[in-house]
């Protein structure tokens, strides 16, 4: 089992070029099933979630290669319609395959997906939307069976602006007969990126980034070459790390507009920010001030994926701050690990009160999920002494060898097998 050993106390200095966003690449990989021609996706990080998605694609019959940050996918017939249960349970994003498999083959079978245990993430919104498009859905023994014989465009109102449901419905609608409107759609940048990818294949999608997305179904799509948006969560994690440990870092290919809530918060601490069109420089020369309140919201609000790293920053900032988690109810699992390191945090329901301490102490901790694991890496780099992080495999789901990234900034992290 993979483990990280961190010697704390180093400030961070250097530059990093941000690779494509995991949460953009995964639905784009799925959408490549909408055509039988070759799709090329560039600047892709070599992380576990993406490799697991490519395993699923191969299991469906697609020809896949992944070399030097470029993925090539060609999915000619015959394709399989059933996603293997053992693969689906490793990856939450396996649910993205429902839409494109249904649109391409007319039927699909996908087991309930896995991924991080950060709370209930029901598929009801996905299923309701598919049913409104004429798709018959049955659930049996943990598997979702769908029949798209009567697939057609529809006017859909989502009960919640779910990212996954929005993307799934966009994909299936791209080859459906007629027009589909998705109202109360998610507004995340990854939604717009999927729209742009589908349109690069010859699709007719508009409105992404707003509350209503319109998709006019086309008869067929073609292959394309595409560069997804940079990973705003990786960029945010690195900025928070520098704010926590001190130093000066610059991020290139960062698209600052995608992380404006974070940049606003950091500017209210003791950080100095220089923000350009595709470059962010952060300088942190003294202990930061805590935030009165940090509340997670759907985009364009503060992202839940950066809440755990921000908790680490707040744990060593001056004063007391409050975090309200509105998206996933078990995002506070990291609290018990930070307390082992000397943090003073109290949790009640979805609210955490963080009383800043001057220093953390190295300890043996365990990553319970992807973003919590990254937050523990930041805590370990800040802490006095040595920190060991068990279950580093969770971190590998979204960060391409996080120890190499941080060591290039001056950290001291070793991976132990």
Residues acting as catalytic residues: 116
Burial of 241 (0-12, 13-18, 19+ CB in 10 A): buried
Do the Cβ atoms of 109 and 82 come closer than 8 Å? yes
Six token digits for residue 405: 């990234």
Do the Cβ atoms of 198 and 32 come closer than 8 Å? no
Beta bridge partners of 219: none
> In b/e form, how buried is each residue of 298-333, taking b as 16+ CB within 10 angstroms?
bbeebbbbbbbbbbbbbbbbeeebebebebbebbbb
Give CA–CA dist 163/140, Å, rounded: 25
Do the Cβ atoms of 99 and 125 come closer than 8 Å? no
Q: Dmax over Cα atoms in the chain, in whole Å?
A: 62
Distance in Å from the first CA to the final CA of the chain: 6
Chain centroid to CA 380: how far? 23
Count how many Cα atoms sit within 13 Å of the Cα of residue 216 in the half-sphere of its side chain.
Answer: 4
Six token digits for residue 336: 């018990």
Look up tokens 């759609």; give the residue: 185
Strands laid side by side in the 70-74 sheet: 63-67, 70-74, 39-41, 224-226
> ω before 300 within 30° of 0 (cis)?
yes
Question: 330, 325, 301: which is closest to 116 by C-alpha?
Answer: 330
Six token digits for residue 355: 């009383």
Give CA–CA dist 184/187, Å, rounded: 9
Six token digits for residue 237: 């994690």
């Amino acid at each position: 089992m993979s483990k990280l050993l961190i010697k704390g106390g180093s400030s961070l200095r250097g530059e990093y070029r941000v690779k494509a966003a995991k949460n953009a690449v995964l639905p784009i990989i799925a959408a490549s099933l909408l055509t039988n021609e070759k799709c090329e996706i560039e600047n892709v990080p070599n992380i576990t979630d993406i490799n697991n998605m490519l395993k699923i694609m191969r299991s469906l019959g697609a020809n896949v290669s992944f070399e030097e940050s470029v993925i090539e996918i060609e999915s000619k017939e015959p394709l399989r319609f059933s996603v293997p249960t053992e693969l689906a349970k490793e990856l939450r994003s396996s649910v993205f395959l429902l839409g494109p498999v249904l649109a391409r083959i007319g039927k699909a079978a996908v087991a309930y997906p896995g991924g991080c245990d950060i709370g209930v993430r029901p598929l009801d919104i996905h299923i309701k939307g598919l049913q409104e498009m004429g798709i018959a859905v049955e659930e049996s023994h943990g598997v979702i069976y769908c029949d798209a014989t009567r697939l057609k465009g529809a006017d859909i109102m989502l009960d919640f602006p779910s990212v996954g449901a929005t993307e799934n419905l966009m994909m299936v609608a791209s080859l459906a007969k007629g027009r589909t409107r998705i109202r109360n759609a998610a507004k995340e940048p990854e939604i717009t990126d999927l729209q742009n990818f589908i349109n690069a294949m010859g699709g007719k999608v508009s409105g992404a980034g707003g509350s209503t997305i319109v998709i006019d179904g086309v008869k067929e799509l073609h292959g394309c070459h595409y560069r997804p948006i940079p990973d705003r969560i990786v960029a945010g994690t690195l900025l928070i790390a520098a704010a926590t440990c001190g130093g000066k870092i610059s991020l290139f290919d960062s698209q600052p507009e995608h992380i404006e809530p974070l940049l606003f918060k950091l500017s209210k601490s003791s950080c100095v920010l220089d923000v350009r069109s595709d470059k962010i420089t952060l300088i942190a020369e003294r202990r930061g001030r805590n935030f009165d309140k940090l509340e997670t919201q759907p985009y364009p609000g503060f992202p839940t994926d950066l809440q755990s790293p921000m908790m680490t920053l707040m744990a060593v900032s001056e004063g007391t701050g409050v975090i309200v988690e509105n998206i996933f109810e078990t995002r506070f699992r990291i609290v018990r690990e930070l307390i082992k390191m000397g943090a003073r945090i109290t949790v009640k329901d979805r609210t955490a009160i963080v009383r800043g301490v001057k220093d953390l102490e190295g300890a043996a901790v365990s990553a319970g999920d992807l973003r919590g694991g990254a937050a523990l890496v930041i805590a370990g780099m800040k802490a006095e002494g040595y920190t060991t992080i068990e279950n580093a495999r969770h971190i590998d789901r979204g960060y391409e060898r996080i120890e190499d990234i941080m060591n290039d900034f001056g950290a001291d992290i070793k991976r132990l097998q």
